[in-house]
């Protein structure tokens, strides 16, 4: 899966978790928590959806690597099954 496809998948998951948020104009280099009203439970839901939908395990120590959309894509691209 290429980085753009990974980005689309991540945004789809965020949109499903943060139903009231507009995810169409997310900035890649700004913290997702600064752009969206995400609490720690929402963040865990996003991690759980990655596991459920794509079989991607994100260890707790790697959670900071999912802070921005760009860092999510960079971290997750090699983990997506091709």
Task: List active site positions.
Answer: 39
For residue 64, what are its two tokens?
């900071």
Rounded to the nearest 5 degrees, what angle is found at the Cα of 31, between the Cα atoms of 26 and 35?
A: 50
In the three-class reduction of DSSP (H, G, I as helix; E, B as strand; rest coil), residue 28 is classed as: coil
The SS3 call for residue 51 is helix
């Amino acid at each position: 899966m290429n980085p753009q496809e990974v980005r689309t998948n991540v945004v789809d998951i965020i949109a499903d978790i943060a139903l009231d948020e507009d995810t169409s104009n997310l900035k890649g280099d700004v913290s997702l928590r600064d752009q969206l009203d995400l609490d720690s439970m929402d963040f865990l839901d996003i991690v759980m959806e990655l596991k459920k939908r794509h079989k991607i395990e994100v260890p707790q120590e790697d959670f900071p690597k999912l802070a921005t959309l760009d860092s999510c894509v960079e971290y997750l691209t090699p983990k997506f099954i091709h």
